[in-house]
């Protein structure tokens, strides 16, 4: 009886060792996407009143967990029975990310800033509606990025046993959510941490200086995340198309891969925005 228990424990230990190795490889493969996920979602979790930042982030985090609960089992089933559907889903997700990235660029270049009183009145009127819309957009973007994270992680363990595939992909999905949104929470609360350090330091010393750095650097970090988040959307989109279509993958070999992905994401985004804008105009006339 004892030998049977030890044999089971030995099998479990061997399984966990295989999962640890597979998870390490899968996490390394998805590191770039996780970085993009961090930049995109940090940008989407900012721009709210301080008291609403953490509730909004928690709402996005819960949505991200639900996304993973949907994506992981569906991806495992599709990979086993309908692998071609995975490619179609990735391409549709790439179209969405390209559209959102280019739309942000167009809004930045051509959006006319409103006068101060107009901005205040609008914030009073539809602050909660804007918050809900931003949370919904963040969860949608997270869903698409999560699809790619899960698919890439799954691709690293296709030759392994089913149980290893399930555990590895689940571990990567959990780490992606906890790690990304944990870092996002630290970023958006930088100013609060800085103010606390300043208050405790009594206006002098290393803590006072470090607190000032945190407070003053937050606006620059947020602005940088806006830019990085937009670039990340186009890079992820371009990467989906480059790796999904052999022609694009082998075209322009002299161009660095990252630049090629960005250009393709930008072009696809411009085309998508143009098509959707045209369709909207046709329906609005009708």
Residue range 6-63, pLDDT digits in tens? 455 454 555 566 556 566 665 555 555 666 666 666 666 666 666 777 788 888 889 8
Range of the domain at 167: 13-285
For residue 2, tell me if it sits in a domain. Answer: no
CB-CB contact of 199 with 217 (8 Å): no
The per-residue pLDDT for 272 is: 93
Which DSSP state fits 111? P
pTM: 0.67
49: left (phi over 0), alpha (psi -120 to 50) or beta: beta
- Looking at residue 266, what is its pLDDT? 93
Contact present, 53 and 189 (Cβ < 8 Å): yes
Q: How many domains does the chain have?
A: 1
Q: Is residue 192 part of a domain?
A: yes
Tell me whether residue 74 is exposed, middle or buried, using C-beta atoms within 10 angstroms of its C-beta: 0 to 12, 13 to 18, 19 or more: middle
Q: SS3 breakdown of the chain: % helix, strand, coil, rounded to 5?
A: 90, 0, 10
Q: Is 179 within the bounds of a domain?
A: yes
Q: What are phi and psi of 160, to 5 degrees?
A: -90, 175
In a domain, 105, yes or no: yes
Q: What pLDDT does residue 118 have?
A: 42
Tell me if 157 is assigned to some domain. yes
Instruction: State the DSSP string of 190-203.
Output: HHHHHHHHHHHHTT
Spans of the chain below 70 pLDDT: 1-50, 111-127, 155, 158, 203, 286
Q: Is 271 exposed, middle or buried (0-12, 13-18, 19+ CB in 10 A)?
A: middle
Question: How many C-beta atoms surround the C-beta of residue 170 within 10 A?
Answer: 19
The Cα 75–Cα 143 span in angstroms is 13
Residue 4 resides in a domain: no
Q: What is the pLDDT of residue 124?
A: 45
Using CA atoms, how far apart are residues 75 and 78, in angstroms rounded to an integer? 5
194, part of any domain: yes
Phi-psi region of 27 (alpha: psi -120 to 50; beta: other; left: phi over 0): alpha
């Amino acid at each position: 009886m004892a030998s049977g228990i030890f044999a089971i424990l030995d099998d479990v230990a061997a399984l966990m060792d295989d999962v640890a190795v597979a998870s390490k490889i899968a996490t390394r493969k998805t590191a770039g996407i996780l970085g993009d996920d961090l930049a995109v979602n940090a940008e989407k979790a900012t721009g709210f009143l301080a008291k609403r930042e953490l509730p909004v982030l928690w709402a996005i985090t819960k949505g991200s967990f639900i996304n993973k609960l949907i994506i992981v089992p569906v991806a495992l089933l599709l990979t086993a029975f309908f692998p071609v559907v995975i490619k179609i889903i990735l391409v549709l997700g790439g179209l969405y990310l390209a559209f959102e990235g280019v739309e942000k660029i167009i809004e930045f270049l051509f959006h006319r800033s409103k006068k101060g009183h107009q901005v205040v009145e609008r914030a009073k009127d539809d602050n909660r509606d804007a918050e809900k819309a931003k949370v919904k957009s963040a969860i949608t973007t997270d869903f698409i990025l999560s699809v790619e994270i899960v698919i890439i992680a799954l691709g690293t363990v296709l030759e392994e046993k089913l149980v290893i595939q399930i555990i590895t992909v689940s571990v990567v999905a959990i780490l992606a959510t906890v790690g990304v949104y944990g870092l996002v929470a630290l970023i958006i609360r930088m100013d609060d941490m800085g103010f606390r350090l300043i208050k405790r330091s009594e206006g002098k010393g290393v803590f006072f200086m470090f607190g000032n750095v945190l407070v003053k650097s937050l606006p620059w970090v947020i602005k940088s995340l806006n830019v990085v988040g937009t670039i990340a959307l186009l890079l992820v989109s371009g990467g989906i198309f480059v790796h999904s279509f052999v022609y694009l993958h082998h075209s322009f070999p002299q161009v660095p891969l990252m630049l090629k992905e960005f250009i393709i994401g930008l072009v696809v985004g411009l085309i998508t925005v143009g098509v959707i804008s045209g369709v909207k105009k046709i329906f609005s006339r009708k």
